[in-house]
Amino acid sequence: MAATEASGAAQDEYDVIVLGAGPTGENLADRAHAAGLSTVVVETELVGGECSYWACMPSKALLRPVTSRAEAGRVPGLKDAVAGPLDAPAVLAHRDAVTSYWKDDGQVRWLDSAGIDLVRGHGRLAGPRRVVVDGERVLTARHAVAVCTGSRPVLPPVPGLAEARPWTSREATSAKSVPGRLVVVGGGVVGVEMATAWRALGSSVTLLVRGDGLLPRMEPFAGRLVAEALAEAGAYLRTGVEVREVRREAPGGPVTVVLDSPPGPGGPGGTPRDEIVADELLIATGRAPRTDDIGLETIGLSPGSWLDVDDSCRVTGVTGGWLYGVGDVNHRALLTHQGKYQARIAGAAIGARARGVPILETDPWGAHAATADRRAVPQVVFTDPEVASVGLTAAAAERAGYRTRVVDHDLGAVAGAFLYADGYRGRARMVVDLDREVLLGVTFVGPGVGELLHSASVAVAGEVPLERLWHAVPSYPTISEVWLRLLESYRG
């Protein structure tokens, strides 16, 4: 067995080399190993990756108390008990425990028990099938190298910004104390989640957004409902503004954010200019692939670029087809679960190809095609209200040329919802492909909808016809009964 041969520590030839030990790299290694391939993972930081230490895990640990308190606050007989502030030190301590105090012993043990080798250090490609770690150790791959290095936050080119050492998603999820005043720049998922968390933990929060609303890639009502809730929670939201300059006089001291509003009706030049002084500044405006220093140039690719891949996550245009780009680096869907999904598929494809089994990565929904990346990407935003969506928005479906019908329903009118929370506010939308009568996308916004999403994911990925969805009876009285209302509205 190749896997057994790989167990020697001095082994420098493997079937598969994985760059990056985040969830994507771990899952890819697991699948490759399960296919009987010797596998090594190269990691320069912590095994477990961004998700475990500076993203999903700590952010959810910060947010769960916020949503739980908000929900309890809408329940008769309990409202008064939770009217006070959250115990911030307890929340932060829990967050620390959830990240295993930023130590990766547990994950290293898992790799070990799974029979996967780990090489710590910075891995760079050095020509085909070859990786050099920290400029010293040379690893070669018989079958495949998988780049699973993920992405990093990008600071926009604003004067003074880098020097002011702002928070990125990393600092926002790992901060040890609650800033008095926090300015958040960016209205995407990181921006709204961290604004929600730190506001509830006690910060005075101002959220600055360049566009006209929050969560711009989702259905418009999602951003509207989250904006309303942030305002009610006491956060300030300013849309249509741009950061022109940032100043921090002394490390740890206050930071000044200088704003430009966009040109008003009077034309450019006459716009007001104002400044906000805060204790911390979080920049959450975009991400870049961690491919700038992994030796892409040695195989004719551009350093710092997103990797272009086919549906099996094999990088296109590489002679011999030995390079894979899995997870954030391929820019298909920058989400942990989607990276893991790709890893399962790419790992299976690597295994099949290594055995000489022909695979059809163009076979939709097959074992070797990450079809869901294009058709059924789910996402939950853990704000209050929660936002949960899968598949295409109405606008995206229209752009893609589908003949669609959009059906909306007020979640607050569903019995299960108003029993769940007094004064429940929320909304659901389904986007129907009229030609096939299947769902292209579904969005739920409201308290407690996070777990409801998977019903939509099964319906979208399963291409379950609407006619059959009538037989999937929602239990009464749950929020899920909105499914019935959506089907009724569609029937008209």
Binding residues for a copy of itself restricted to 457-476, rule: CB under 8 A = 457-462, 464, 467-476
Span of 173-181, 290-298, 316-324, 447-455 interacting with a copy of itself by CB under 8 A: 447-455
Binding residues for a copy of itself restricted to 416-435, rule: CB under 8 A = 416, 419-420, 422
How far is the CA of 106 from the CAs of 9, 111, 116, 117, 149, in angstroms? 20, 9, 14, 15, 20
113 binds a copy of itself (CB under 8 A): no
R_g of the chain computed on alpha carbons: 24
How far is the CA of 300 from the CAs of 19, 89, 295, in angstroms? 18, 50, 9
Q: How many CA atoms lie within 13 Å of 470's alpha carbon, on the beta-carbon side?
A: 9
Which of 129, 340, 368, 409 is close enough to bind a copy of itself by CB under 8 A? 340
CA distance 318 to 321: 6
Minimum gap (Å) between residue 58 Cβ and a copy of itself: 10
Sign of the torsion angle spanned by Cα atoms 91, 97, 101, 103: negative
Q: Is 151 annotated as a binding residue?
A: yes
Reference 60, options 222, 151, 186, 196; nearest CA is: 196
3-state secondary structure of 481: helix
Q: Is 442 annotated as a binding residue?
A: no
Which of 98, 178, 215, 354 is close enough to bind a copy of itself by CB under 8 A? 98
Q: Is 328 annotated as a binding residue?
A: yes
CA distance 479 to 419: 9
3-state secondary structure of 329: helix
Q: Is 68 annotated as a binding residue?
A: no
Q: What are phi and psi of 94, to 5 degrees?
A: -65, -45
Nearer to a copy of itself, 319 or 471 (CB): 471
CA distance 468 to 74: 35
Which residue type sits at 278?
A
How far is the CA of 337 from the CAs of 5, 16, 246, 340, in angstroms? 31, 22, 35, 5
Nearer to a copy of itself, 293 or 451 (CB): 451
448 binds a copy of itself (CB under 8 A): yes
User: Kind of pairing, strands 273-278 and 280-283?
Assistant: unpaired
Which of 20, 22, 25, 65 is close enough to bind a copy of itself by CB under 8 A? 65
Binding residues for a copy of itself restricted to 359-398, rule: CB under 8 A = 365, 367, 371-372, 376-380, 388
Instruction: Kindly write out the interface string for residues 156-185 of this chain, putting x where it contacts a copy of itself by CB under 8 A and - elsewhere.
Output: ------------------------------
Which of 12, 45, 60, 202 is close enough to bind a copy of itself by CB under 8 A? 60
Instruction: Kindly write out the interface string for residues 300-339 of this chain, putting x where it contacts a copy of itself by CB under 8 A and - elsewhere.
Output: -----------------------------------xxxx-
- The residue with tokens 């990276």 is 339
Minimum gap (Å) between residue 137 Cβ and a copy of itself: 32
Helix (H) or strand (E) holding 249: none
Which of 76, 252, 269, 270 is close enough to bind a copy of itself by CB under 8 A? 76
Span of 69-77, 107-115, 225-233, 312-320 interacting with a copy of itself by CB under 8 A: 69-77
Span of 230-238, 242-250, 321-329, 451-459 interacting with a copy of itself by CB under 8 A: 451-459
Q: Is 192 annotated as a binding residue?
A: yes
Tell me 450's DSSP state: T
Q: Which residues are annotated as a binding site for FAD?
A: 60, 123, 149-151, 328
Q: Which residues are annotated as a binding site?
A: 60, 123, 149-151, 186-193, 286, 328
Q: Which residues are annotated as a binding site for NAD(+)?
A: 186-193, 286
